[in-house]
Amino acid sequence: MNRPLLDTATRIADTIMQDNPGLIVAKWQYDVGLLLTGFWQLSEATGDSKYYDYLKTYYDYFILPDGTIRDYKLQEKNVDHLNCGKNLFPLYAKTGEERFLTAICHLGEQLAIQPRTQSGSFWHKQIYPDQIWLDGLYMAQPFYAAYAGYFQKEDCYEDILRQFCTAREKTYDPRSGLYTHACDESRTAFWADPLTGRSLNIWGRAVGWYSMALADTLDHIPANRTSMRAELISHLQELMAAVVRYQDPQGVWYQVPDSRRNDNYQESTCTCQFAYTLEKGIRMGYLDPDTFLPHLQKAVDGILQVFLCQEEGRTCIGRGCAVAGLGPQDNPRRNGTLDYYFSEPIRDNDYKGVGPFLLLAVAYEG
């Protein structure tokens, strides 16, 4: 059977394991959590346990016998730290090891103390007061929804919906129809518009995180929460209808999707995130296939044609923005301008793109 995406996914995963033998990194790192979710699904699709074993090595290192998470500091109040916790639910279900459940509870304690903006949304981090970042919706809300379901915390669902609705309202950019990277509700951050609090531009990966947040949170919203599900699905439909308007002729998206400045570039992480969301949205019945399937097929072709690199036994997805952020106050370079977004380094096999690609490949061809 010809499975170009899945075959490519295994080669990329093998390259990452070759580059990082044993423990992938000794850091509780949000993008590693996403990547390893892809490894787990790849193991299921191929029947090759080495991908699951690679994930398990990471969590065996970080989750100590008493359930403590190595080097995790609750008082940092960083929503990025929640993302690695998503894999703890299936790990506990598969292994029955109580340490994984205890670690989930530790992360649940962070949900309880995470600072909130005036509107009731989680701060992105302790060092970013009063700020909602689209990235943070992905880091926190799917974990929050899974936690609410597992521990039957019914009152949490309305909080989750409210945070999505607030982010939608606060970051919406009427000029582009998309959503800006972040909003400072206090309107005091140096990068924030003094009237709206929004950051200045649309960053592709931030919108990609947001699209994945909607699609993945829906996995954990009970069927009887019909109005909540309908609202999240409507938001996803609205978002992806805007996103596909910026898909380029080769099927991919740019670092700043609505800019065609000469130093802008086709960017792989947001392209993989959008492709993942399109596939999942169509498969789950959230997105109309007649409208969105052509865009998904075009994106799949674009990923393979534009970003795939193979040489000397290594397989990579290239052209991934290494990082981009806003502030904090002592880092004025990260100001949300186009100059800033186009200045950050570009690298191969960025986990923030590889993770969605692995999940896309499994769902599309597995």
State the catalytic residues. 135
Burial degree of 70 (CB within 10 A; 0-12, 13-18, 19+): exposed
Query: Do the Cβ atoms of 239 and 208 come closer than 8 Å?
Result: no
* Distance of alpha carbon 243 from alpha carbon 331, whole angstroms: 30
* Distance of alpha carbon 278 from alpha carbon 287, whole angstroms: 8
* Distance of alpha carbon 112 from alpha carbon 77, whole angstroms: 10
Query: Do the Cβ atoms of 105 and 67 come closer than 8 Å?
Result: yes
The amino acid at 174:
P
Report the b/e string of 210-246 with b at 16+ CB within 10 A: bbbbbbbbbebbeeebeebbeebbebbbebbebbbeb
Query: Do the Cβ atoms of 266 and 320 come closer than 8 Å?
Result: no
* CA-closest candidate to residue 32, choices 16, 15, 18, 47: 16
**In which residue are the tokens 């972040």 written?**
182
* Distance of alpha carbon 296 from alpha carbon 69, whole angstroms: 38
Name the token pair of 113.
């103390």
Tell how far CA 182 is from the center of its chain.
15
> How does DSSP assign 236-259, residue by residue?
HHHHHHHHGGG--TTS--BSSTT-
* Distance of alpha carbon 310 from alpha carbon 148, whole angstroms: 43
Burial degree of 267 (CB within 10 A; 0-12, 13-18, 19+): buried
